[in-house]
Copies of this chain bind each other. A is one copy, B any other.
Amino acid sequence: MYTSETFIRVRYGETDQMGYVYYGNYAMYYEVGRVESLRKLGLTYKELEDMGVMMPVLENKSKFLSAALYDDHLRVMTTIRDKPGVRIKFEYDIFNGEGRLIHQGETTLAFVDKKTGRPSRPPQVFQNVLKPYFG
């Protein structure tokens, strides 16, 4: 299992007239969680694309426990629970500035070869950096 912590400041344009973060904007927060969790392993999603790997999203699930508010400094805990195969699942727990769990989400993505458009295994470098966490 691999877990990583990232912080996100809620932008004004991400709120809606209810005064909450619009429900569609959490997907962007998940993306930041995923990308920064990989960066901490020394890997960028940008490099993966440059290697010819795309990672389209297959499934996404969200539970809205409490609202995130403008200017909240959110703590996003991103977890990879299972060793990635042709798919990888990221889970997110989002806490507001007061340390309260306000949101949970999960995203399943595929590894796809850019040239063939077909599912593929994760690139070797990806497998290497995650190996220590999935003995």
A23 to chain B, nearest CB (A): 4
Interface size on A (CB < 8 Å)?
37
- In chain A between 45 and 66, which residues have their CB closer than 8 angstroms to a CB of chain B? 45-46, 54, 56-64
Query: Could you tell me if A23 and B64 are in contact, using CB atoms closer than 8 angstroms?
Result: no
A16 interfacial contact with B, CB 8 Å = yes
- In chain A between 85 and 109, which residues have their CB closer than 8 angstroms to a CB of chain B? 107
A11 interfacial contact with B, CB 8 Å = yes
- Which candidate, A26-34, A74-82, A125-133, is the interface stretch facing chain B? A26-34
Residues on B with C-beta less than 8 A from A54 are 18
- Count chain B CB atoms within 10 A of each CB in A16, A28, A56 and give the residue with the most: A16
Query: Could you tell me if B13 and A28 are in contact, using CB atoms closer than 8 angstroms?
Result: yes
Query: Could you tell me if A17 and B57 are in contact, using CB atoms closer than 8 angstroms?
Result: no
Could you tell me the distance between the alpha carbons of A64 and B54 in the complex, rounded to whole angstroms? 15
Could you tell me the distance between the alpha carbons of A9 and B11 in the complex, rounded to whole angstroms? 14
Which residue on B lies nearest to A34, using beta carbons?
B12
Could you tell me the distance between the alpha carbons of A24 and B67 in the complex, rounded to whole angstroms? 18
A82 to chain B, nearest CB (A): 19
Residues on B with C-beta less than 8 A from A18 are 17, 54, 56
Residues on B with C-beta less than 8 A from A70 are 17, 46
